[in-house]
Amino acid sequence: MGGLNPGQPAPPAAREDNAGSHNQRQSQSGLSQAQLMATADAAKAPSKSLRILYVGPTESSSRARLLMQAMEDLGHRVQSIPTERMDAGGERILERDLHARIMRRMGRPLDRAGTNRALELALENECFDLLWVTKALALHPRSLRLARQLQPDMRTAFYSEDDMVGRHNQSSYFRAGLPLYDTVFTTKSYNTQPGELPALGAKRVVFVDKSFGRDRHRPVPPSAEDRRKFGSRVGFIGTFEEERAELMLRLAENGMDVRVWGGLWPDPWIGRHPRLRVEGRGLWAEDYTRGICNTDINLGFLRKLNRDLQTDRSVEIPACGAFLLAERTDEHQRLFSEGIEAEYYASAGELTDKVRYYLEHSEQRQRIAAAGRERCLASGYSFHDRLPEMLRIAEGTA
């Protein structure tokens, strides 16, 4: 496999000069960052502004909200219908009562947000070019059939960043409604295979790589306060899985300080080792970005339950100008050059060796982090960059 031999000089970050020239071009343009973004959005904007009816999560800290915001920034008219009840702060209300849990386990999640009725009302009152659904598991197939009847010229698209073949990500409504979408977008490449989503009735399945939020996932200069609140030499932000927990415990046992943020970590793992600091809570929105930016080595574990080959963190960490050390996969190596724009491992031993090496070689680590950020920008990994082509596909013009 590729990579470096710890203890030996590693390959230099070849894109360092490119990153410098990129920054120089920005400063010479005389435009502010906001003006540059507006100019870029105008260049990507379609000749036709779409009327999009968006159904999905809308909470302020969600990635789905970033996607919806990118649609609006690109000049489209977006009307949103939330799939969860929201609190006064714009965050979703978790449905944890017994009735909700039973119905969810049965594959028939409750529509307490009134999504289906809101969709019907919206379709009766306004015409749309595109119905975009982001993993709305309580959306009934009868609502999709009604949408087709009310507006036969409207295109329909489904988008999810989860493994939608996995039963834990499905509902009976999703399975029954899947054949009714014109296009299904997935960030799981294997979901496009004949035995996966097409076998469940999906007519057209399109794979798209993970994206980052242009305005959220960006470098944030560290402060003393942020370093105190979020800082770590080695860190991970994510939910509990036994394998990743054991790997971080091994790092701690080898004398490395590891800080972990995320939910669903069992109590026995809190205080398990003095060098393994499990916070027992997640980081969201701006805190998430600051957590990444104040961590010297960000670990990029893949969720085995979702059969991940890349995950949100795979692009969010480099987009923040931070150092990514992730599991080695073909998709990771395609997104970021190994040893140049990110680093990878394939075993517990290789992970331990590379963490130790890069803790001792900060300048090289920083060069790789900067090159990863430049790759995100140059290759167009943001929602703003990916959406124009996705919308052309959803419209049927690509």
The structural domains of the chain, ordered by start, are 42-209+383-395 (3.40.50.2300), 215-378 (3.40.50.2000)
Least confident of 24-28, 44-48, 113-117, 251-255: 24-28
- For residue 7, pLDDT beyond 80: no
- For residue 51, pLDDT beyond 50: yes
Contacts of 42 (CB under 8 A, 6+ apart): none
Q: What is the pLDDT of residues 119-176, one digit of tens each?
A: 999 999 999 999 999 999 999 999 999 999 999 999 999 999 999 999 999 999 999 9
User: Average of pLDDT values for 212-223?
Assistant: 97
- Which band of pLDDT confidence, cut at 50, 70 and 90, is reported for residue 26? very low
Q: What is the mean pLDDT of the chain?
A: 90
- For residue 30, pLDDT beyond 60: no
Structure confidence at residue 44 (pLDDT): 57
User: Average of pLDDT values for 79-107?
Assistant: 90
Q: CA-to-CA distance for 86 and 80, rounded, in angstroms?
A: 13
Structure confidence at residue 89 (pLDDT): 81
SS3 labels along 122-171: HHHHCCCCEEEEECCCCCCHHHHHHHHHHCCCCEEEEEECCCCCCHHHCC
**Rounded to two decimals, what is the model's pTM?**
0.88
Structure confidence at residue 134 (pLDDT): 98
Residues above pLDDT 90, as percent of the chain: 83
Structure confidence at residue 48 (pLDDT): 85
- For residue 18, pLDDT beyond 80: no
User: Average of pLDDT values for 239-253?
Assistant: 97
